[in-house]
Amino acid sequence: MATTDIAPPRDFVREIVAEDCKSGKYGGRVHTRFPPEPNGYLHIGHSKSIWLNFGVAQEFGGLCNLRFDDTNPAKEEVEYVESIKEDVRWLGFDWDDRLYYASDYFERLYDFAVQLIKKGKAYVCDLSPEQMREYRGTLTEPGKESPWRNRSVEENLDLFARMRQGEFEEGSRTLRAKIDMASPYISMRDPVIYRILKTAHHRTGEQWCIYPMYDFTHCLSDSIEGITHSICTLEFENNHPLYDWFLDQLEVFHPLQIEFARLELTHTVLSKRKLIQLVRDGIVSGWDDPRMPTISGLRRRGYTPESIRAFNERNGVAKTNSMVDIGLLEHAIREDLNKRAPRAMVVLRPLRVVIDNYPEGLVEEMDAINNPEDPAAGTRKVPFSKVLYIEQEDFREDPPKDFYRLAPGREVRLRYAYFVRCESVVKDDRGQVVELHCTYDPATRGGDAPDGRKVKSTLHWVSAQHAVPVTARLYELLFTKENMNDMEDGHTWTDYLNPNSLEVLTGCQAEPMIAGAKPGERFQFERMGYFCVDKDSQPGALVFNRTVTLRDPYAKIEKARKASS
């Protein structure tokens, strides 16, 4: 047996970090950061970055900062800042006192820009945005140098100071890094590092009318905070040389940028621009609509932080982009809730059942198991009486061959109660079945027949006289198309919105225990799925969101995988 039981790093990011710790690079220190731009709510993709950045820091005895990358005053709002803080905390991570804003560094960033000018590495450019695009070149053609590229240091210093003073119009001038207009990396073709924007900022107010660009701000913020490993998504690979260039030119502390593949999910859009559009156009009820892939939407839907962390853990970290089946996210929440959600009997689409031979006025308290996965959850009493509700779909007047539930003349078990046999049906004028008449067998109390006769199914039920009416919201996928990155010709992403993504059922009937449920509480409604109490609930008028159905196509796959490993 080996004497050490240290597991090998689980992914290439952890491999790099472990190697750096071993070699003593950065003095063995590990310091990461999660750097959201406060221009929208966090989504499931961000949870991957949060889990990775905070997780790596935790595992290597390091620290992780929360830093708002707030360099674009036009799109950012305090509401987003607050929601992001709430969501990171809810996911189970803590930045302690290390909450930072790139905007706190504006003065230092300005000084860094002045340093670049003094070194002859930055210049004020008068090209218009359109001209600049023209001069930039393409992937196959080099760009052209700006006619303003060779201004003297003195002139650049003067013009940059006057940009800051507000002397020039928006779009009339920029400060650009002087690198290489022929670089194969377009990001290296004299990128803009400051632009004029006469817009107030949510933190610095009217103090600035020039704002630093993302690439310049990001690497220097990392450097200022002493970040050792700057983990970001693959699309920043092209900006990696620029990240290094700024730090090298300014001769400051140099973190290592590491790129990983972003999370993408089937049937889901994660672009903030699109999520904003869903909210603004009223296609969903808000950022926390339970159909949204946002953290706040998933929370309201009934997802737990544990399930989201487990989902990320299972997916791991890769170097190439791929798409994850949304079924795996659902699998993660089922696994978690199966272990801890108390069970309840709730009939979503009620059908009245009268037990003709059951004594009028009698109420029996049946013992029900709160959670078969957790004996400590104990049992509860569920009242049984002469008039009950069962699920409409559990009865067929004319049952097909493979339908084993209730039908005329057929006997089934009512969970925790008795066998009942359907004797006759009552219909309305349109021929719809509105009531069943059944008989029960008193000898089957508890669920078994002393004579050994079997039934093929067990139904959930609710005593009508004790029932608590509730509303249930059932969800389907928000988009019908599996790969939302790949639109068919002539189609746009909104064409694939699922018109059936929300179904609201009023008049569902729940067992009495449910009456005391509080917003955020989660249950398994037996046979119907996992449900979570919504914040729209009022006393006496509870609203439940279905988190997920019980059927799990991944349980089998998972079992097979475990068996073979």
Which residues are marked as active site? 37, 262, 272
- Smallest distance from the beta carbon of 226 to ligand ATP, in angstroms? 18
Q: Is 104 helix (H, G, I), strand (E, B) or coil?
A: helix
Geometric angle at alpha carbon 99, from 51 and 241, rounded to 5° = 65
Amino acid at the residue 442? P
Q: Is 421 helix (H, G, I), strand (E, B) or coil?
A: strand
Neighbours of 310 (CB within 10 A): 17
- Smallest distance from the beta carbon of 172 to ligand ATP, in angstroms? 27
- Smallest distance from the beta carbon of 30 to ligand ATP, in angstroms? 17
Q: Is 188 helix (H, G, I), strand (E, B) or coil?
A: helix
Nearer to ligand ATP, 84 or 532 (CB): 84
Nearer to ligand ATP, 312 or 444 (CB): 312
Residues 481, 496 contacting (CB under 8 angstroms): yes
Maximum C-alpha span of the chain: 103
Amino acid at the residue 164? R
- Smallest distance from the beta carbon of 36 to ligand ATP, in angstroms? 4
Residue among 198, 287, 186 at smallest CA distance from 241: 186
What are 395-403's contacts with CB under 8 Å, separation 24+? Answer: 395/351, 395/422, 395/433, 395/436, 397/425, 397/433
- Smallest distance from the beta carbon of 38 to ligand ATP, in angstroms? 8
Nearer to ligand ATP, 262 or 421 (CB): 262
Helix axes 153-165, 106-118, angle to 10 degrees: 160
- Smallest distance from the beta carbon of 83 to ligand ATP, in angstroms? 12
Nearer to ligand ATP, 269 or 543 (CB): 269
Residue among 136, 102, 118 at smallest CA distance from 216: 102
Nearer to ligand ATP, 315 or 471 (CB): 315
- Smallest distance from the beta carbon of 300 to ligand ATP, in angstroms? 20
| Distance separating alpha carbons of residues 235 and 37, to the nearest angstrom | 16
- Smallest distance from the beta carbon of 265 to ligand ATP, in angstroms? 8
Q: What torsion, rounded to 10 degrees, do the Cα atoms 143, 147, 148, 152 define?
A: 110
Nearer to ligand ATP, 113 or 270 (CB): 270
Nearer to ligand ATP, 30 or 275 (CB): 275
Residue in the shown chain whose Cβ atom is closest to ligand ATP? 45
Pairing of strands 99-101, 122-125: unpaired
Which spans of this chain sit near ligand ATP (rule: CB under 6 A)?
35-37, 39, 45-46, 48-49, 232-233, 262-263, 270-272
| Distance separating alpha carbons of residues 151 and 365, to the nearest angstrom | 89
Residue among 524, 216, 204 at smallest CA distance from 371: 524
- DSSP label at 29? -
Nearer to ligand ATP, 33 or 178 (CB): 33
Nearer to ligand ATP, 43 or 173 (CB): 43
- Smallest distance from the beta carbon of 236 to ligand ATP, in angstroms? 7
| Distance separating alpha carbons of residues 99 and 94, to the nearest angstrom | 10
Per-residue three-class SS string for 39-85: CCCCEHHHHHHHHHHHHHHHHCCCEEEEEECCCCCCCCCHHHHHHHH
| Distance separating alpha carbons of residues 111 and 109, to the nearest angstrom | 5
- DSSP label at 515? G
